[in-house]
Structure 1
């Protein structure tokens, strides 16, 4: 079982966001789990531009679909933490674990109900009334930063 936190992206739509998350993960020591199909070619220039030289430095894993990802996750006995606007628990109230997998949905549609139900924990980032959602790269930075703060403080 891995003790490296992971950021999982469910069928990402936007290469620039994915590249930014890859860069974030490379800098923080997280892995990135891409759950296919992506809405773009993972060799896309925009992905490489956004991720810069961090694409080569990141621990990047691709999963054919959610079923293969979830089977891998269960074999590793890792907790799946879904970030969603359809949750009531504030991300800052969660006690993160070093081997958590932070799952972020598609920019255009989030995750389907069956994926939502497979999550061990569902968290949200509180926002002002009248706004729809944060950019997925921003959301991943906020939550991953809090998780890392907690884990480093716990040492």
Structure 2
């Protein structure tokens, strides 16, 4: 199946563009929950995503409920600085499962009512107290690549190479 990055009401076009580039480079899906703090025609968004936009699988949703309804068997995880569980202890190795990583607004994170829905499924990337949070696009890349690493990077294989396996040393 797939790795999915979900941006809940993102505000900064450059972050979304950078995340789109990560999605293009990993075959991850990008889900944008409206309202957005910018137009998807925004030049900063296009600039950050460069010429990769046609390669990004972008899905627009009016609400998180709409997205979750469309993927009833998906495993959804909120990613937040207040998460109780490190992302490193979760098992994302089932390549037949859809994994959704839900990120909040850059300035406010996820609303409490959304976090309440993810009790026990709120993950954190450990960090020092020197910063309020890590950059959204960096955080998304960490989660996408951790899930892919656990799946032996099978999502990077071209369709003709489905039987091939990528090995790490």
Instruction: Tell me if both proteins adopt one fold, taking TM over 0.5 as the criterion.
Output: yes
CA distance in 2, matches of 1:45, 1:95: 37
What is the deviation of 1:33? 0.5
Q: Equivalent residues in 2 for 1:5-20 (5 A)?
A: 5-20=3-18
Aligned to 2:132: 132
Per-residue CA distance 1:62-90 (angstroms, 9 max, x = gap): 0012222222232xx10111110111211
Matched, 1:82 2:81: no
How far 1:129 sits from its partner (Å)?
2.2
Match of residue 117 from structure 2: 118
CA shift for structure 1 position 130: 3.3
| Structure 1 gaps, min length 5 | none
- Structure 2 CA distance, aligned partners of 1:94 and 1:63? 27
Once the two structures are superposed, what CA deviation does each residue of 1:6-37 show, in whole Å capped at 9, x if it has no partner? 00100000000000000100100100000111
Q: Residue 153 of structure 1: CA displacement? A: 7.1
Please, what is the CA RMSD of the aligned residues?
Answer: 1.6
In structure 2, how many angstroms separate the alpha carbons of the residues matched to 1:121 and 1:151? 20
- 1:116 deviates by 1.0
Distance in 2, Cα, partners of 1:114 & 1:65: 13
Equivalenced residues, count: 151
Name the residue aligned to 1:63: 61
- Counterpart position of 2:39: 41
1:68 and 1:91 mapped to 2: Cα distance? Answer: 25
TM-score (norm 2): 0.84
Alpha-carbon shift at residue 128 of structure 1 (Å): 0.9
Higher radius of gyration, 1 or 2: 2
SS at match of 2:71: helix
Deviation at 1:145, TM superposition (A): 1.1
Unaligned runs of 5+ in 2: 155-164
The 5-angstrom pairing of residues 20-35 of structure 1 reads: 20-35=18-33
Matched residue SS, 2:144? helix
2:100 — aligned with what?
A: 101
